[in-house]
Amino acid sequence: AIDGSLKRLKTDYVDLYQLHWPDRNSNFFGKLGYVHDADEDFTPIEESLEALDGLVKAGKVRHIGLSNENPWGLMKFLELAEKKGWPRVVSVQNPYSLLTRQYEVGMAECSIREDAGLLAYSPLGGGALSGKYLGGARPEGTRVTKWPQYFGRYLTENGIKSTEAYVKLAKDNGLDPSQMALAYINSRPFLTSNIIGATSMEQLKLNVGSAKITLSEDVLSEIENIHQTWPYPCP
């Protein structure tokens, strides 16, 4: 896979190479009720990390990361890296937004203490936090209309209610809703990078402009109040 990627990218190495999913059975996207299968057949983490170590030693990869991972998985990778002298995980790419704050429960502490920061994906909840889907609107060409099976999770009843509250909060304080949502993520101490997405130059300018915004204590307090009213609305 890495050789194919390097060929298509026309380069000799990649700076960061991440595993997209844990190979084992685990809970994703807020799923509750973990059911353990002692007989599950999956690739051992040790085997995966040893393969990644080979890519680093071959000069094809400089750093490694994980995605859609949980505290047990991250800490297991770090434990094996220390024990075997293999490369340490430097990043975790998980969903994180005002609508999906599950990362704060266990992963945030791991990221800070182990210097393996979050690369937040879907920071606008598939565009929901811009407010463009409120009132039943479904703009043509948007993610929700193209891939409802993936992004419909942000349009639950509680998701819509909390989005309405966040959009109102932003507008009441003279902020663009998207920029407020992104600025909140930027302020988190466990963050390494905020993965923005844009389909127009206007969206790109708004997203990049969020880096210059510092939210007031009043706005941050109101964000927490909204979250207390609708906690984790879009798992």
| Per-residue pLDDT tens over the stretch 29-88 | 777 788 888 999 999 999 999 999 999 999 999 999 999 999 999 999 999 999 999 999
144 with 44, same domain? no
**Total-model pTM:** 0.92
68 with 18, same domain? yes
H runs (alpha helix) in 58-103: 71-84
Q: Name the band, by pLDDT with cuts 50, 70 and 90, for residue 167.
A: very high
The pLDDT, as a whole number, for residue 209 is 96
Selection from 71, 80, 64, 79 nearest residue 19 by Cα? 64
- For residue 89, list its beta bridge partners: 64
Q: Give domain status of residue 108, yes or no.
A: no
210 with 142, same domain? yes
Q: Give domain status of residue 203, yes or no.
A: yes
H runs (alpha helix) in the chain: 2-9, 45-57, 71-84, 107-114, 143-146, 148-151, 157-172, 177-186, 201-209, 217-229
pLDDT at 195 exceeding the cut of 90 = yes
Q: Give domain status of residue 98, yes or no.
A: no
Q: Give domain status of residue 23, yes or no.
A: yes
76 with 144, same domain? no
The pLDDT, as a whole number, for residue 18 is 97
Total count of domains within the chain: 2
Q: Give domain status of residue 107, yes or no.
A: no
Query: Which structural domain, as residue segments, surrounds residue 25?
Result: 1-93
85 with 131, same domain? no
130 with 226, same domain? yes
89 with 164, same domain? no
Q: Give ∠ CA 213-134-193 in degrees, rounded to 5.
A: 35
44 with 137, same domain? no
Q: Give domain status of residue 116, yes or no.
A: no
49 with 144, same domain? no
- Where does a domain end: 93, 112, 139? 93
Q: Give domain status of residue 113, yes or no.
A: no
Q: Helices 177-186 and 217-229 sit at what angle, rounded to 10 degrees? A: 100
Q: Give domain status of residue 79, yes or no.
A: yes
